[in-house]
């Protein structure tokens, strides 16, 4: 490779105007010894092959192939170039065709994941043990933020993947895998009255997770449309904090159904379906996994996305996520 670079820089300055396509044509021509066979091998027309040869001759200032008897023979300069470029091109082809191996059991890299607060609360309890089991030497770095901030951090290269309520104004080159909206339930102390009816739901004091991907605003707007309002008396930063607050109190909280189903019955909590008037809540929650196109084929990034997709599906405990059964793109 170094020999080819030196020749291109010192003896053939004109080659800086030639692209890889023309260099590959030249190497194939030297190997085949004829324009017709070269065209057939590269899958191009005879006219295209003749045009590339003419371009090479003009740029390099050398006929490259000359008629001797019934065949074509390379000029001394063409032979010297071929000796240098053939091994260099083989190395390049090998490098382009070889994908770096990734073994999560042996690798020691860090994986950075951006999440909304709700996504973190739902996903991390199941993701962390799976991650440690499958990639015991790797580190998981998480960052919580709103969807717009996560998209900017991903575009800047600070994150490997993001999960949250991702809007329409996404950076160019960002890839997403959509999730169906979360299912939601009302969580309460088992001894407290049900809040399945909207009147009971609006009268009880509420505990909330903030920021909540717009959940609070959607609930308040739906209640206002029904001529009702509720009282939010406590805000916490994680779903995991809610059970201890609700137990033995009259507080209620709207939580993802997957989180509610994961709770130990011994905690003394019960669930109610949301009032029918709050159907708009179905539009809220982490709606997509996002990554950048430059990591589309990266083996370690593909493994990580597959792990995220599977853990998210399991966290929802049902057909809540669209297109999650197959491997991540």
Query: Residue 254: inside a domain, yes or no?
Result: yes
Per-residue confidence at 319, pLDDT binned at 50, 70, 90?
very low
Task: Out of 44, 64, 97, pick the residue that ends a domain.
Answer: 97
DSSP for 189-233? ETTSPP--SHHHHHHSEEEEESS-TTHHHHHHHHHHHTT---EEE
Residues 46 and 82 reside in one and the same domain: yes
Q: Supply the Cα-derived Rg of the chain in whole angstroms.
A: 31
Q: For residue range 141-183, what is the model confidence (pLDDT) as tens digits? A: 999 888 888 888 998 889 999 998 776 667 778 888 887 777 8
**Which structural domain, as residue segments, surrounds residue 173?**
110-181+285-316
Q: Per the domain annotation, does 104 fall within a domain?
A: no
Domain boundary residue, one of 41, 66, 97: 97
Domain count, the chain: 3
Q: How far is CA 71 from CA 36, 39, 75, 90, in A?
A: 12, 16, 13, 26
Which of 153-157, 260-264, 313-317 is predicted most confidently? Answer: 153-157
Residue 177 and residue 252 in one domain: no
In a domain, 74, yes or no: yes
In a domain, 321, yes or no: no
Please indicate, yes or no, whether the overall pTM of this predicted structure exceeds 0.85.
no
Asked if residue 114 and residue 75 are part of one domain, the reply reads no
On whether both 34 and 69 belong to a single domain, the answer is yes
pLDDT, one tens digit per residue, over 17-56 is 678 888 888 888 888 888 888 888 888 888 888 888 898 8
220 and 243 co-located in one domain: yes
Q: Are residues 176 and 304 in the same domain?
A: yes
Same domain, 270 and 309: no
Which domain CATH number covers 256? 3.40.190.10
> Is 234 inside any structural domain?
yes
Assigned domain for 147 exists: yes
């Amino acid at each position: 490779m170094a020999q080819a670079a030196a020749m291109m820089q010192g003896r053939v300055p004109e080659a800086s105007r030639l692209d890889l396509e023309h260099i590959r044509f030249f190497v194939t021509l030297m190997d085949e010894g004829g324009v017709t066979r070269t065209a057939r091998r590269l899958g191009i027309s005879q006219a295209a092959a003749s045009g590339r040869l003419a371009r090479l001759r003009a740029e390099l200032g050398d006929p490259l192939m000359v008629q001797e008897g019934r065949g074509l023979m390379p000029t001394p300069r063409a032979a010297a170039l071929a000796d240098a470029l053939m091994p260099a091109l083989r190395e390049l082809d090998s490098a382009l065709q070889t994908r770096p191996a990734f073994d999560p059991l042996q690798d020691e890299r860090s994986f950075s994941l951006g999440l909304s607060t709700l996504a973190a609360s739902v996903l991390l309890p199941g993701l962390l043990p799976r991650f440690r089991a499958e990639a015991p030497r790797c580190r998981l770095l998480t960052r919580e933020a709103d969807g717009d901030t996560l998209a900017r951090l991903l575009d800047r290269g600070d994150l490997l993947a993001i999960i949250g309520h991702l809007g329409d104004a996404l950076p160019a080159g960002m890839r997403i895998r959509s999730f169906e909206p979360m299912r939601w339930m009302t969580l309460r102390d088992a001894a407290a009255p049900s809040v399945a009816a909207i009147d009971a739901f609006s009268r009880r004091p509420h505990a909330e997770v903030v920021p909540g991907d717009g959940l609070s605003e959607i609930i308040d707007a739906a209640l206002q449309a029904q001529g009702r309002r509720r009282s939010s008396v406590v805000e916490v930063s994680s779903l995991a904090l809610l059970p201890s607050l609700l137990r033995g109190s009259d507080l209620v909280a709207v939580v993802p159904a997957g989180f509610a189903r994961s709770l130990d019955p011994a905690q003394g909590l019960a669930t109610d379906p949301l009032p029918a008037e709050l159907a708009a809540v179905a539009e809220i929650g982490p709606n997509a996994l996002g990554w950048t196109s430059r990591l589309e084929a990266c083996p370690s990034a593909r493994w990580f996305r597959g792990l995220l997709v599977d853990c998210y599906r399991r966290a929802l405990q049902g057909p809540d996520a669209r297109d999650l059964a197959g491997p991540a793109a």
